[in-house]
Amino acid sequence: MSTTDLQEALKEKEKEILRLQADNTYLYQTVCTLNQTLNRMIDKFI
């Protein structure tokens, strides 16, 4: 593999990491929202 090939592969991996970070952020926000919603529902039933 040439240096250029390695640099291209690294760029692709960096893009993949950024996509995964965005996915993780979205999932975290979704879980937090669900948690808040469930807590509110539980509070109403107690």
Q: pLDDT tens across 1-46, in order?
A: 899 999 999 999 999 999 999 999 999 999 999 999 999 999 999 8
Tokens 């593999």 sit on residue: 1
User: What distance in Å separates the CA atoms of residue 13 and residue 7, rounded to the nearest whole number?
Assistant: 10
- Give the length of the chain: 46
Q: What is the pLDDT of residue 46?
A: 86
pLDDT of residue 37: 98
Residues 13, 20: Cα–Cα separation, whole Å = 10
Residue 15: per-residue pLDDT? 98
Q: What is the pTM of this model?
A: 0.71
Distance CA 42, CA 45 (A): 5
Q: What is the pLDDT of residue 1?
A: 81
Q: Which helix (H) or strand (E) holds 20?
A: helix 3-45
Residue that has been written with the tokens 């893009």 in this structure: 15
